[in-house]
């Protein structure tokens, strides 16, 4: 039996909340509650701080939620935890911010953090790129559906914003690493998880979007995290 928890699932910069539609029922079938914030897409000036404030302003649950951030939304996950009680931060194939640096500064100093072919790509404008980089490990039927979840969120300011934290939040943290990720370099983030979160990444055999290609497996993994609380 799994301990019932509230999961807050934060989509990345190239999907809308419907991207969680395969994972959410799997979590709910195990007794969990799920909320999926719809981050604003009409704010070109939106920073990581802005997105964190928008997420933290969501309705409060009776217990602190487990907050799962996918991809670039990892940049503001710790900022959410500074603004409201959070039971656990889960970086799902996500960027971990570095205090005192922006994501762009990190990339300039160590370009190996992302896969070279991914740089400059916009899968919301190119179906073939979306399949290649995001949904390559999905069945044709699931990949076709996943294309309907694509939507570009303004992330430029979030990538340029220097992480405003002066201290990492005192919240348990986990990193879910996707071994077949063709966007973020799995080998680089395996090391970064140890260095920045102080724990080994939890690995899954999937591409960048396991919530789409492996929803049942990911739900089981997240449920086991809930049992650790």
pLDDT per position as a tens digit, 65-116: 999 999 999 999 999 999 889 999 999 999 999 999 999 999 999 999 999 9
> Is position 23 within any domain?
yes
Q: What is the pLDDT of residue 157?
A: 84
> Is position 196 within any domain?
yes
> Is position 1 within any domain?
no
Q: What is the pLDDT of residue 28?
A: 96
> Is position 67 within any domain?
yes
State yes or no: pLDDT of 2 exceeds 70. Answer: no
> Is position 71 within any domain?
yes
> Is position 104 within any domain?
yes
Q: What is the pLDDT of residue 62?
A: 67
> Is position 203 within any domain?
yes
Burial profile 3-39: b = 16 or more Cβ within 10 angstroms, e = fewer: eebbbbbbbbbbbbbbbbbbbbebbeebebbbbbbeb
Looking at per-residue pLDDT, the higher value among 24 and 63 belongs to: 24
Burial profile 171-201: b = 16 or more Cβ within 10 angstroms, e = fewer: bbbbbbbbeebbbbbbeebeebbeebbeeeb
| Stretch 204-208: mean pLDDT | 98
For 110-158, the pLDDT digits (tens) are 999 999 999 989 999 999 999 999 999 999 999 999 999 999 988 888 8
C-alpha separations of 101 from 57, 211, 216 in Å:
25, 29, 36
> Is position 102 within any domain?
yes
Looking at per-residue pLDDT, the higher value among 93 and 59 belongs to: 93
Tally of domains within the chain: 1
Q: What is the pLDDT of residue 42?
A: 81
CB 223 within 8 A of CB 106: no
| Stretch 4-13: mean pLDDT | 92
State yes or no: pLDDT of 182 exceeds 70. Answer: yes
Range of the domain at 99: 6-226
For 31-53, the pLDDT digits (tens) are 999 999 998 888 778 888 888 88
* pLDDT band at 229; cut points 50, 70, 90: low
CATH number of the domain that residue 170 is part of: 3.40.50.1820
For 208-225, the pLDDT digits (tens) are 999 999 999 999 999 999
| Stretch 6-33: mean pLDDT | 96
| Stretch 169-198: mean pLDDT | 96
């Amino acid at each position: 039996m799994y301990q019932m928890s509230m999961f807050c699932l934060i989509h990345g910069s190239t999907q809308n909340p419907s991207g969680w539609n395969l994972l959410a029922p799997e979590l709910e079938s195990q007794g969990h509650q799920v909320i999926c914030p719809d981050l604003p897409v009409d704010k070109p000036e939106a920073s990581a701080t802005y997105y964190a404030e928008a997420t933290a302003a969501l309705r409060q649950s009776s217990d602190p939620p487990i907050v799962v951030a996918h991809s670039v939304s990892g940049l503001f996950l710790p900022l959410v935890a500074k603004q409201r009680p959070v039971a656990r931060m889960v970086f799902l194939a996500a960027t971990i911010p570095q205090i005192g640096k922006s994501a762009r500064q990190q990339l300039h100093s160590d370009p190996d953090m992302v896969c070279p072919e991914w740089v400059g790509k916009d899968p919301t404008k190119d179906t073939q790129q979306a399949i290649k980089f995001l949904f390559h490990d999905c069945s044709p039927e699931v990949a076709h559906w996943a294309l309907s979840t694509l939507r570009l969120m303004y992330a430029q300011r979030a990538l340029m914003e220097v992480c405003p934290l002066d201290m990492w939040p005192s919240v348990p943290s986990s990193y879910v690493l996707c071994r077949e990720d063709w966007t973020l370099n799995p080998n680089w983030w395996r090391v970064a998880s140890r260095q920045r979160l102080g724990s080994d990444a939890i690995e899954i055999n999937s591409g960048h979007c396991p919530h789409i290609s492996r929803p049942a497996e990911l739900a089981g993994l997240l449920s086991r995290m809930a049992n650790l609380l």
